[in-house]
Amino acid sequence: MPQNFQFRPSRRSFLAGTAALGLTPLLACAPRPQDAAVAVPQFDTYPPVIFVHGNGDTAALWHTSIWRWESNGFPDKRLFAVDFPYPLARSNDAEYQAGRSSTQDQFEQLSVAVQAALRQTGAGRVALVGSSRGGNAIRNYLKNGPGPAYVSHAVLCGTPNHGVIVSNDKLVGSEFNGAAPFLRRLNDGLETVPGVQWMTTRSDAFDKFAQPDGAGIGMPGTPTGVTADGPALAGAKNIVLPGLDHREVAFHEKAFAATWDFIIGSPPATTKILPESNPVLNGKVNGMARGVPTNLPVEGATVEIWETNPQTGARLRSAASHRKVTGADGYWGPFQASPTATYEFVLSVPSQTTTHIYRSPFPRSSAHIHLRTAVVADRDRQAGSIVTISRPRGYFGPGRDIVTFDGQPAPGIPAGVPTNSTSTLAIPRGTAQRTVVCRCNDETIAVQSWAATDDRAVIAELHY
């Protein structure tokens, strides 16, 4: 197991002993204010919840889900999120590939995470909630490891349980190929494991990885042998969330409601995120290895946080509200935020593009606000400024979502099944720095167009 494997509770410090697992302690956040949802003691009898991210992702994708759990009174000390060090799968699961992980790697890391959560909470079993590839790790741990003794519930959200394709000559050896060894073994015999309660969530028709045509995996015109019900499992409670895409079936408020109901046994009191008076933010600067994103911490990164004008994105003060150079653990906080303020995060890593990340207000505390420098496409490097609108918890669906720059349709969003989670606006050279208003449905973020000639990139990162 890599020494830098990261596994963190939503905000509280780990108990003594976790350092032996390579799990660095987390700074405790401020006490919960009176106007926020208060943790309900009765929830201590329910299993702690561990969220498991998907291919190429980070624990950061779960922060809005964690907010919704907390808003219903679930104790933050019983909510955890895994940050796999090498989140991208190997092309062939059986062959080493630098900067990528095998199913065995994630099996071992998830096993460590479960034991850490059990020690932290004193619970007997946990609930596992996985998005996409995260469900592969969960199924592997439950079928081929000790998981059933330690897991009460397994929720798989958009997991390609029967593959993104079933083929003997394409994606050979991939863990996402229904004909390759990994999924063949998982689906041999019972698709679920007795003693664990199982649920899947899936789209009706908008999951890019559950389509009869291979366009969503870069193979247009190729039959996949997969249909919309590919994520369903025999023996599980299989929930269809109409109109949602591959990511939304994990991170949308409807996905939260279905997951809460399944684990708790009754509907949540609210799907809204209730604000705190004094949210405290923290997160990790994640790195790159040979052009591949990793979740390994970056030491020596500089993070500045500036409060901005929500209408223009301009900085409100002459000095940053927060500045820190990261240590060995990569963490840039803690930072005391306002629940109504908009912020610009400036991430500077030596020899990488300086990245200006603009965010909507943070209504609640989170230790999962992870950052990574932008990777600029060669075609965009000649622009005067590069502005990207990014939706990590969903894709952009034409006709379903309103996605605009300054009121004009965002470029590069194809018709049909939602497949893109980013859109980039290249502003011509010679244009003075200006406001760019980025919108997706009800979330609007105003940014400033920093000069690409200074090796700077701008991202408007959406919460929802």
Q: Are 320 and 341 contacting, i.e. CB atoms less than 8 angstroms apart?
A: no
| Domain 280-461, architecture per CATH | Sandwich (2.60)
CB atoms within 10 A of CB 213: 15
**Phi, then psi, of 155 in degrees rounded to 5:** -120, 120
3-state secondary structure 29-89: CCCCCCCCCCCCHHHHHCCCEEEECCCCCCHHHHHHHHHHHHHCCCCHHHEEEEECCCCCE
CATH superfamily of this structure's domain 6-264: Alpha/Beta hydrolase fold, catalytic domain (3.40.50.1820)
**Phi, then psi, of 121 in degrees rounded to 5:** -100, -20
> What is the number of H-type helices and E-type strands within the chain?
6, 24
Can you give the residue ranges of every domain in the chain?
6-264, 280-461
Which residues, other chains included, contact 338 with Cβ-Cβ below 8 Å and sequence gap of 6+?
279, 307, 361
What is the residue-level pLDDT of the chain in tens, covering all 464 positions?
Answer: 444 445 555 553 332 233 323 232 222 233 344 445 666 768 999 999 999 999 999 999 999 999 999 999 999 999 999 999 999 999 999 999 999 999 999 999 999 999 999 999 999 999 999 999 999 999 999 999 999 999 999 999 999 999 999 999 999 999 999 999 999 999 999 999 999 999 999 999 999 999 999 999 999 999 999 999 999 999 999 999 999 999 999 999 999 999 999 999 999 999 999 999 999 999 999 998 888 999 999 999 999 999 999 999 999 999 999 999 999 999 999 999 999 999 999 999 999 999 999 999 999 999 999 999 998 887 787 899 999 999 999 999 988 999 999 999 999 999 999 999 999 999 999 999 999 999 999 999 999 999 999 999 999 999 99
CB atoms within 10 A of CB 239: 19
Lookup: tokens for 231: 């994520």
For residues 356-378, one letter each, b for 16 or more C-beta atoms within 10 angstroms of the residue's C-beta and e for the rest, the string is bbbbbebbbbbbbbbbbbbebee
DSSP secondary structure letter of residue 420? B
- Nearest one of 129, 396, 400 to 242, comparing CA atoms: 400
Which runs of E-coded beta strand occur in 277-349?
Answer: 280-281, 286-289, 292-297, 302-308, 322-325, 335-336, 342-348
3-state helix, strand, coil in the chain (%, to 5): 20, 30, 50
Omega into 334 within 30° of 0, i.e. cis?
Answer: yes
Lookup: tokens for 417: 């099944």
Q: Is 437 exposed, middle or buried (0-12, 13-18, 19+ CB in 10 A)?
A: middle
